[in-house]
Amino acid sequence: MKGKRILLGITGGIAAYKAATIASQLYQRGADVRVIMTKSATQFITPLTLQTLTHHQVYTDTFDERDPEVVSHIDLADHADLIVIAPATANIIGKVAHGLGDDMLSTTLLATTAPIVIAPAMNVHMYANVIVQKNIQTLRELGMQFIEPASGQLACGYVGQGRMVEPEVIVNWIEQYFAYEASKPLAGKKLLITAGPTVEPIDPVRYMSNHSSGKMGYAIAEQAKKAGAEVVLVSGPVTIPPPKGVKVIEVKQATEMMDAVMNELATSDIIIKSAAVADYRSKVVFDEKIKKNSEELILELKKNPDIAAEVGRVKRPDQMLIGFAAETEQVEQYAKGKLERKNMDLIIANDVTKPGAGFGTDTNIVTIYDRDGDKIELPQLSKQEVARHIVQVIGERLHART
């Protein structure tokens, strides 16, 4: 982290006192730490404390311009390698989600192109509030990352999720972020990934599909791109924007996804099958809408091609195949069976019945299995964080081969 310019935003929560430790530890690791405090934050900890720890002036007021050669909030926004908001209140999250800039911190956040990571801290009911969660979702979709709050005793007396994680966790996250950015573990590799659901038509108005949102696959595509890979994303119908710099091939049916994958396979080094492909399709696709003429409707289904199995059958020894297993029971048993049966190198398994895991959520709880019997269990993390871990493991396995 030596020489990295980190902008630390501190907002008005009781956890503001922890920001002093974050600033101190970052400075001790060689980072150039600049601090912006909201007016409310100064009620919990003084600017002088942060100034002493970072050896730089602390910014609290947009109009307090001390250097006539620059506009302070633009200068800070332009030169930050990473912006960390810790603690982040519901107020600052709401401001950023709605594009508001009415103080030094929120204005700087609007002006920056630097990556932003947010460490929320608030009452358990505030954190669970549907409006706050919608704002968090908006920021995730815009590419901002979150360090999930911990559960436990809160300052207000409640017990639950909302407590900002300890400073060491945040500093460790920042260290890993810069190490990951510098290492580019997938540089020079082409990664082919499938994501989202497939849609199997029945008639002109009906189809069969599943609950996959594509969030996990899109997160992996984004992290793989950051890790230096050339990324091709074969995507079923989703409502999320594709990552920047990624080639997207849009498909609907399983057969279309199969064709797209096989067309890209020969030139790919890494293949990740994260799409939730429909196992069956209607044997007959009716030209006209099926009418409700009886109490029962019998629909004959035909098995779809198993894309992962076919890739596993034809892949070269130098290619790496990674799959997903979304299960509701006996997760390890089914995942390991799929790993062997489809000739995969790694499989990422999760129990979709667990809160915070599975389809449509912004978080996931996964275990990574390999062919040697090793496994890596990850706690509940944002899907971006899960994706970062997966990409890191893939990079390590590729380098171990060579």
292 is in an annotated binding site: no
CB atoms within 10 A of CB 298: 5
324 is in an annotated binding site: yes
Q: Which of 149, 145, 146 is nearest to 165 (CA)?
A: 149
289 is in an annotated binding site: yes
**What six digits make up the tokens of 187?**
């540089």
Q: Cα dihedral angle (227, 230, 234, 239), rounded to 10 degrees? A: 50
244 is in an annotated binding site: no
Contact 155, 233 (CB under 8 A): no
> How far apart are alpha carbons 348 and 297 in whole angstroms?
37
252 is in an annotated binding site: no
Active site residues: 156
Radius of gyration of the chain measured on its C-alpha atoms: 24
> How far apart are alpha carbons 392 and 400 in whole angstroms?
12
> How far apart are alpha carbons 388 and 186 in whole angstroms?
12
Residue type, 362: D
Residue type, 72: S
Helices 130-141, 90-97: crossing angle, 10 deg rounding: 50
Cite the annotated binding site for CTP by residue number.
279, 289, 324, 338, 342
Binding-site annotation: residue ranges: 279, 289, 324, 338, 342
